[in-house]
Amino acid sequence: MRAEVDILDIFISNSRGETEEVTSMKKRVYEVAEDIKMPTKELIAFLKKEGISVKNHMSTLDEETIEIIKVAIDEERKREKRAIDEEIKIVPIDKLPSLKELAEQLGLPLSKVMQQASKFGKVSSVEKELPWDIAEKVYEQHHIKVNLSSKLKKILKTKKTKIVEPTSTIKSPVITIVGHVDHGKTTLLDVIRKTKVTKKEAGGITQHIGAYVVNLKNNRFVFIDTPGHEAFTSLRSRGVKATDIVILVVAADDGVMPQTIEAINHARAANVPIIVAINKVDKANANADKVKKELSKYQLVSEDWGGDTLFVEISALQNKGVDELLDLISLQAEMLELKANSELPAIGVVIETKLDKRKGILVSVLIQNGHLNIGDYFVVGTAYGRVRSIMDDMGKLINYAGPSTPVEITGFNKMPNAGDIFQAVANEHFAKIIINERAIEEKRIEKKEEERVSLESLFEEMKKGKIKELNIILKADAQGSLDALQESLSTLSSEEVEVKVIHGGIGSISETDIMLASASNALVVGFNVTIESNAQKIAKNEKIEIRTYNIIYELIDEIKAALQGLLKPKLKEIIDGRAEVRNIFKIPKIGIVGGCYVIEGKISSKDHIRVFRKEEKIYEGKEFSLKRFKEDAKEVFAGYECGINIEKFDDLQVEDTIVFYNFQEVKR
């Protein structure tokens, strides 16, 4: 035990066997948190922010120290209250609003207000007036102070609604295992799965529903089954947190690889805590310290090196260290203080969907909060239905599912999408109203181009104060180029906008890069790399801007110019017309003249030209003359003949095609 222990280390230390002093210290921290009426993790975060360390004895948090903490926290709460008070709006109310009217008042989607109202009581209609106790709570959530009319005050005296205050219970953590290919993610998943089933039962697991539950040492864990699953990446772009903890698997014999970095950046962007599992420590060439050193470059520093990231050394193949990993997950979940309320209507996330010939549409859902029963009505995206059956991760039919429970559900009117929010509602009428609203909203979004960051709009958005940071996904052809670009881009930050490379990697621009850009509203920049075809399609659909360069200074200068509002107009090539050579004339003092027929568009003497012979380009330039009946011509339209003489080019032949083009400025 070190002479002095950081407040966070008090909670980490139990992974190595606690001393009585540490146990007492932990108890003391819990007591102080309760006394101050502050969640333990917030107290720890506050102490760390204030730089308060404690020695490994409970007397360190003496009464004098506690009073200092109380005063500091009280001041911070007052500041927060002042900030909230400044935001509060006062709204006069002379009648109880319906759910629909309340949504209109708040300027929010009906489905969102319905979800908020459901936290405080049962709401079965969007048209009927809401019980005042429920409406009042929703107003409070949006910092709205209501001014009740005297008439309404009298009415409310005779109407009372019992509030369903959230009676929170501890929520099981949802975990995703990520890492580079061949580093042992699948093996680790298999080992964890086998801890809860016999070989005889293992077949049931293979019919997985995208997630499964593990019960060990009185702890319950939920694992999202597919590493890098859509529930971990694309959901984030919709503001959905599909996982609570990320396990980053890194092979001790291989170290940090491109997909390792990619996984770190995804977890960081999702604001999810990372536990590092250094795998394959049983191999002869394993080097755990080398892995720790490499990961420290990405701000993942193990606590024995003075950091605060939880590390564990394992061998998934030999089932060594897996129990310790599960202990760390329990510890991290304890620190997060995950809560759920099983009394509320179910809210969850669609993990997978499939069509069964006998059962119809089967949808895997991770229930995140609330409860789901057979017969409940629900909405999912623009689909809805009534629960006909619920099956758990072991293939067993059940009647009820609570928080942090993966289930497979039937009863959908159409196939939803992976990543859609699943929400239980009061009745079918309620569901249809929400679905119609969402369908209208989808059409509106289709018509209006989604706002995405681009270099063209960057300066204007900065001036309006809409953009405070420019997120960049950077791909390069070599590590040297990547390092140089990252260093150069980091110097472009200013008071107005921070330039952040949220992911850098080697190789072509991939589908995963676009997914991360979509989730983080980032610009994708490539240096001497290609763009995968599927990535191009997704970028077009998601309206993600991709910029590729072959010269480093051009890349830096263009982003710098955009930040300064000096980006020059972009030139876009426009094909004006095409002509076909049908005769060749040799004219003294002039040279070769092609007798041409304009087959498409309009050609002009101001155009640039390219000459093609059987699809091979043989000339490009703009020094040529255009004639009609021995007279100079400015332009010739399709369907007419003309003569064309190209300076310093005497190789024109019959059947050659001449393409006429120009450039048009595109506003940046």
Q: Is pLDDT of 448 > 50?
A: no
Give the pLDDT mean for 85-108: 77
Burial class from Cβ neighbours inside 10 Å (0-12, 13-18, 19+) for residue 491 reads: exposed
How high is the pLDDT of residue 407? 94
Give tens-digit pLDDT for 112-129: 787 778 767 677 777 888
How high is the pLDDT of residue 593? 92
φ, ψ at 544 (rounded to 5°): -95, 130
Question: Where do you find CATH 3.40.50.300 in the chain?
Answer: 169-340
How high is the pLDDT of residue 397? 93
Q: How far apart are CA 27 and CA 23, in angstroms?
A: 6
How high is the pLDDT of residue 359? 87
How high is the pLDDT of residue 354? 86
How high is the pLDDT of residue 586? 87
Q: For residues 134 and 569, which has the higher predicted lDDT (pLDDT)?
A: 134
Do the Cβ atoms of 487 and 510 come closer than 8 Å? no
How high is the pLDDT of residue 608? 92
What residues contact residue 232 under an 8 Å CB cut-off, 6+ apart?
Answer: 176, 178, 224, 242, 243, 246, 266, 270
Report for 114-128, 333-347, 393-407: range of highest mean pLDDT: 393-407
Question: Where do you find CATH 3.40.50.10050 in the chain?
Answer: 455-568
How high is the pLDDT of residue 3? 36
Q: Is pLDDT of 459 > 90?
A: no
How high is the pLDDT of residue 554? 85
Q: Is pLDDT of 464 > 70?
A: no
Q: Is pLDDT of 369 > 80?
A: yes
What is the CATH number that goes with domain 169-340? 3.40.50.300
How high is the pLDDT of residue 193? 77
SS3 444: helix
Residues 273-307 as b/e (b if ≥16 CB within 10 A, e otherwise) read bbbbbbbbbbeeebbbeebbebbeebebbbbeeee
Residue positions counted in the chain: 668
Q: How far apart are CA 260 and CA 268, in angstroms?
A: 12
How high is the pLDDT of residue 306? 81
Question: Where do you find CATH 2.40.30.10 in the chain?
Answer: 351-447, 571-666
Give tens-digit pLDDT for 586-623: 888 888 999 999 999 999 999 999 999 887 889 988 88
Give the pLDDT mean for 519-527: 86
How high is the pLDDT of residue 58? 36
Q: Is pLDDT of 59 > 50?
A: no
How high is the pLDDT of residue 16? 45
Q: How far apart are CA 108 and CA 99, in angstroms?
A: 11
* Confidence tier at 43 by pLDDT (50, 70, 90): low
What tokens were used for 29? 């921290």
Q: Is pLDDT of 102 > 70?
A: yes
Give tens-digit pLDDT for 474-503: 999 887 788 888 888 888 887 677 888 888
Domain 4-87 has CATH 1.10.860: no
What is the CATH number that goes with domain 351-447? 2.40.30.10
* Confidence tier at 232 by pLDDT (50, 70, 90): very low
Give tens-digit pLDDT for 346-365: 889 888 888 888 888 999 99
- Fold classification of 571-666 is Elongation Factor Tu (Ef-tu); domain 3 (2.40.30)
Lowest mean pLDDT among 181-185, 385-389, 578-582: 181-185
CATH ID of 455-568, from 1.10.10.350, 3.40.50.10860, 3.40.50.10050, 3.20.20.60: 3.40.50.10050
Tokens 């310790």 — which residue? Answer: 324
* Confidence tier at 13 by pLDDT (50, 70, 90): very low
Sequential DSSP letters for 404-430? SEEEEEEEESS---TTPEEEEES-HHH
Q: Is pLDDT of 449 > 50?
A: no
How high is the pLDDT of residue 487? 84
